[in-house]
């Protein structure tokens, strides 16, 4: 089976599994920043397509690949793939749900702690030779920590649940909101209780986003949502940039209606110097932590992701439905 891969070959050399399917597949690598014409010239007759979560796959491109049976995201995100166009052709679209749950959850908790302990501000003060002044100021306004924080998880899939699991040793009080409430056994095991979204927003000291990007989650964090949160609260987004209305978030931070935020994803990406959050970070360097969308980048995540890719490819070769279909086929 021929597979067009819009991702670096080095990843597959390093993390690809040693299985009969991975060895037999003919992998054709193309630059993910290339053009559709270049991709088609290299692998327009491919049976499968492996892409990064930020690579756009259009209906027009899909229409020009007559043998295509599978489009597989290397990560969790699949919002840049035209799902309906693939479904109309009977092409499975899959993702690697849960592959990076450990990595993203670790970053989420790291960012929570950085916000609580004012790490950016402390770093800047020490670099400027003001360590003593920083300690005196902190003693006048002692920060909280995770053990005393109420954390609200918005989205409770593999990553949200991994965050809840990792928060247990800290002693945080954890609530969650999701489109579908989990069973009682899961809530007890993860020590997380369900709250409606507006109540969760108003109650929690830290709000952490773990939703996929879709029509239901688009700009979920908007002016109305932010009007519910406490002015001492922090927001963490390691999910997708489109979940946040950036102008509303910037206004809340400028007007001290939100204490701070940390984000690892943007709308659009890549975020340039003119992005609202990048401009705000220059204006308020201690209120906003900006990461380059690398929460899911870890060795364990890549090993899991590449294993899942070839598992689903093997199913397609065998004429079976893949495990991780996201376009309702």
Instruction: Output the CA torsion 266→214→311→319 (10° steps).
Output: -150
Q: Residue 156 is inside which H or E element, if any?
A: none
Residue 319: C-alpha distances to residues 96, 262, 308 (Å)? 20, 44, 17
Tokens of 179: 């489109």
Q: Rounded CA gap, 181 and 153, in Å?
A: 12
Q: Give the catalytic positions in this structure.
A: 240, 269, 293
Please say whether the beta carbons of 254 and 224 come within 8 A: no
Q: Rounded CA gap, 290 and 250, in Å?
A: 13
Nearest Cα neighbor of 164 from 218, 213, 112 is 112
Q: At what angle do helices 101-116 and 119-127 cross, to 10 degrees?
A: 60
* 192-194 and 173-177 beta bridge pairing: parallel
Tokens of 72: 């597989």
Read off φ and ψ for residue 236, nearest 5 degrees.
-125, 130
């Amino acid at each position: 089976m021929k597979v067009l891969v819009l991702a670096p070959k080095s990843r597959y050399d390093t993390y690809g599994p040693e299985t009969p399917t991975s060895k037999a597949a003919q992998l054709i690598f193309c630059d993910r920043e290339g053009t559709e014409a270049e991709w088609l010239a290299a692998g327009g007759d491919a049976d499968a397509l492996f892409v990064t979560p930020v690579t756009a796959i259009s209906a027009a491109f899909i229409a020009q690949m007559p043998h295509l049976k599978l489009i597989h995201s290397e990560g969790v995100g699949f919002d840049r793939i035209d799902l309906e166009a693939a479904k109309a052709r009977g092409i499975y679209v899959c993702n690697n749900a849960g592959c990076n749950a450990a990595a993203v959850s670790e970053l989420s908790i790291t960012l929570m702690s950085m916000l609580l302990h004012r790490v950016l501000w402390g770093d800047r003060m020490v670099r400027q030779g003001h360590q003593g002044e920083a300690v005196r100021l902190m003693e006048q306004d002692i920060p909280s920590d995770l053990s005393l924080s109420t954390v609200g998880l918005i989205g409770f899939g593999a990553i949200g649940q991994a965050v809840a699991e990792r928060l247990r040793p800290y002693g945080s009080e954890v609530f969650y909101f999701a489109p579908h409430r989990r069973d009682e056994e899961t809530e007890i095991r993860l020590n997380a209780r369900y709250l409606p979204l507006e109540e969760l927003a108003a109650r929690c000291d830290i709000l952490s986003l773990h939703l996929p990007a879709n029509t239901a989650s688009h700009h979920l964090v908007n002016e109305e949502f932010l009007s519910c949160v406490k002015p001492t609260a922090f927001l963490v987004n390691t999910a997708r940039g489109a979940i946040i209305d950036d102008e509303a978030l910037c206004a809340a931070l400028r007007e001290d209606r939100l204490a701070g935020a940390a984000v690892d994803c943007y709308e659009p990406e890549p975020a340039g110097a003119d992005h609202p959050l990048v401009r705000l970070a220059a204006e308020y360097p201690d209120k906003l932590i900006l990461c380059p969308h690398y929460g899911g980048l870890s060795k364990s995540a890549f090993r899991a992701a590449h294993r899942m890719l070839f598992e689903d490819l093997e199913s397609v070769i065998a004429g079976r439905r893949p495990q991780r279909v996201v376009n309702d086929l």
